[in-house]
Structure 1
Amino acid sequence: MSETPSDSDRTRAHVFVTGRVQGVFYRANTRDTANERGVDGWVRNLDDGRVEAVFEGVPDAVDSMVEWCESGSSDAEVDDVKAEYEEPEGLDGFEVRR
């Protein structure tokens, strides 16, 4: 039986990734991986060279995305991942923001 998770079954991680993570398809790979795992949210580049992302979904899927960020795309060189867990806002779908 498949049910749509309610907000009480969901969590949200707000993530900042430091390293060589721009210009290496990091955002596109994040979007594709989030879609494969059924995670909603967004990802964008920051002016200081970091990547910022928000993941919303069931806790196991969100945790797997935070863990995935530690390697990211094959050309990325991730130095650090900081994640803060917050209340979900009910995002639907995943987008690359500019």
Structure 2
Amino acid sequence: MNDEVRLTAWVRGRVQGVGFRWFTRAKALEIGGLSGFALNLDDGRVQVVAEGGRAGCESLLHWLREGDTPGRVDGVTEIWDTPRGGYESFAIR
């Protein structure tokens, strides 16, 4: 089953100033079929929103948690929802 979903993930750790958003965008493009964005938050976390097939979103979430990310990931909190649309590609904000 590969339903269309929306993943919102908040990544904690040393994830700002290390290219984390750029690498997240590159990974989303590598997975393919995902749109959304990666955004630095004022509290030091990075928010990642991805819409697309469930398998692709799960692959991105797995990479955020256990992949070869820049910096250091201390934890990831996520919520799943229905897609809202409005994203043409995967952007860095």
TM over 0.5: yes
1:10-57 Cα deviation digits (max 9, x unpaired): 101010000000111100000011011111110010010000010111
Q: Considering only aligned residues, what root-mean-square deviation do their CA atoms show, in Å?
A: 1.6
Q: How many correspondences in the alignment? A: 90
Structure 1 unmatched runs, 5+? 1-7
How far apart, CA to CA, are the structure 1 residues paired with 2:12 and 2:31? 23
Matched, 1:92 2:83: no
1:66-85 Cα deviation digits (max 9, x unpaired): 11111455431101100100
What percentage of residue pairs aligned between the two structures are identical? 40
Task: Give the TM-score of the pair, scaled to structure 2.
Answer: 0.88
Structure 2 unmatched runs, 5+? none
How far apart, CA to CA, are the structure 1 residues paired with 2:70 and 2:90? 22
Q: Which runs of 4+ in 1 moved over 6 A?
A: none
Of 69, 74, 80 in structure 2, the residue corresponding to residue 79 of structure 1 is 74
Q: Secondary structure at the match of 1:48?
A: coil
Q: Which one has a bigger Cα radius of gyration?
A: 1
Alpha-carbon distance change, 84 to 36 in structure 1, aligned in 2, over 3 angstroms? same
Determine if contact 1:24/1:76 at 8 Å carries over to the other structure. yes
**Per-residue deviation, 1:92:** 2.5
Q: Which has the higher strand share?
A: 2
